[in-house]
Structure 1
Amino acid sequence: RIVMRHSKSIEETAALFTRYLKLVMEHPRYSRIVLGLPGLLLIILSILSVLNLLYYYWIALLIVLGVYLLYKGFGIDRQFHNFYRWIKEYSPPPLPVQIANFSAIAAFICVGIGVFLGWNGAAAEVKTPPVDLGGWLALAPAIAGGFIEHSIDLIIVGACVLLFGRAVKWYFERDIKLLRTVVIVSVIIWSRQIFIETSDILKNPETSYERLIFSIVIGVLIAIATILIVLVCYRAFHGFFERKGEQVEEFGEEG
């Protein structure tokens, strides 16, 4: 009769190996590393073998490993998970805040395009690039005039759009800044004419400056008239702004 004695350490090792193997097979986090990545590499190897392109395998291997290390190293999986959770739990702000944010984005786009057009307009003033600093200084007024002429319209529109969005927000907040914004917008709109006259003088110094002075005077009068109108409106509707305690969130809930 043969008697076989099993070593206890062997049994413990087998049990430990079985447990870890089961963990690797069933746990999604470990299975992606131990099974998923080698499986992907084997699939790439088989496809390249069928296409007789095995000399590309090492390139594909390095690309897959590099992408995986980049993915894990920078925590892209966690970032995607956090972004998905943020999208799922996102609650839009009140409507006035949305209008203000949208107007800010639209204003940024308008100003950006205006600067781009201004840059092109300034570049068009340089027919032949000067070779020294004196030549650039001589062209500086014309370059500035070209930039102003081609960019001022969209820059003014962007500023007005931004202030309009803020004004809507302050209206629902019953904030006195609404009246101040009306004055600023009126001045900004008329300032376009001042900038246009300035650009004409910069591009052609022989142009008469009377129209520029006239535009500045009219702008000052418009600002004074707007301030007076705003003061009259404030005295007539001061009770509206005194109720500032009402929060914008109430409007958002009603909407």
Structure 2
Amino acid sequence: MSKILIIYVDIDDDLGKIGLETPIIGEERVKKAIDIASETIPTDSDFNTMVVAYNIYKKLRKENNDVEIAFISGSERSNIEGQIEFSRKLDEAIKTTNAEEAIIVYDSPEDAKAIPIIQSKLKVIGIERVLVEQYRGVEETYALLGRYIKKAISDPRFARIFLGVPGIILITIGIFSLLNLTVYATPAILIIIGLALLGRGLRIDEYIERWWENSTIMVIAAIISLISTIVGIIEGYYVGASIKVYDLSSIFIILTTILPFIVFAIIVLFGAKAINKVMNRDIKVWHDIFRIIAVIIIYYMMVLISKNLEENVIGVQLQTMYTLSVITLVLVSLYIVFSIIEKHIT
């Protein structure tokens, strides 16, 4: 008979907040943890989930199954770090119990992220999600609402949405009011809300957080690049608004206005990446230096071509295209040579 491990999942380490270190393995240690939780978080869904996991354990044990129980948590710092920490502790629990099968008990969608991790290590024979009913009257509803509001304010995962976005909206309204641009406040607010929803829906905030933890300089470079791009678009808008008659030359004027800001943004990103590789002593730093040089050359060629087209100078256009072809051939050749050298060195 295969050994079954009942796993209570706490991916964001709520148990750590009440002084419990996981993995908590075995009936005696689990009972002590439940006693502590009953005194510190008696109304929390985590406590109810712990009790449900323990009851499943006792029921299977009465039926003479070879069963063990473990409370395993992750980390409150970030989703990725929480999953990594959970995986490490799960390995420890498996090594201690020699379990081959698992029954997962959890309560929140965040905890559900642990399910694939467990499935990759054990045969999952059961999953129990605990939904606590707390709607028995007006007083309990207000109490529940109060707890959710407190969680939205104190928990960093929710605070960035419930406090961060309204804060940005209020600042935007204030700035637009000072500048007498309140007519643009509503579109700006809709854009902010849309970006917040998009960022949360695609988990962009998690990627940025992970990016920040791995390379602070890249995040700073990304912010500078974003600001440069926005400034370029605004500058292009004002130039376009000042043009009364639109034709091919006016389009080139707008493009040449925006292009320096875009190029600067790209160079900043590649430069930060190169600095990051230099700090890590990565030989592939030449890739980013090569990209910076290529971007600068392409920028000047594009500016030259746009001016020639604007002035309708056919002869110069042909010379420019010839120069561009030669530069492209040289860049490609250099890239191939450096790639061969890198391959031999590594």
- TM-score category of the 2 structures, normalised to the smaller one: 0.3 to 0.5
Could you say which structure has the higher helix fraction? 1
TM-score (norm. length: structure 2): 0.36
Q: Give the number of the structure whose residues are more often strand, by fraction.
A: 2
Q: Whose relative contact order is higher, 1 or 2, with alpha carbons under 8 Å and at least 6 apart?
A: 1
Q: TM-score, normalised by structure 1?
A: 0.48
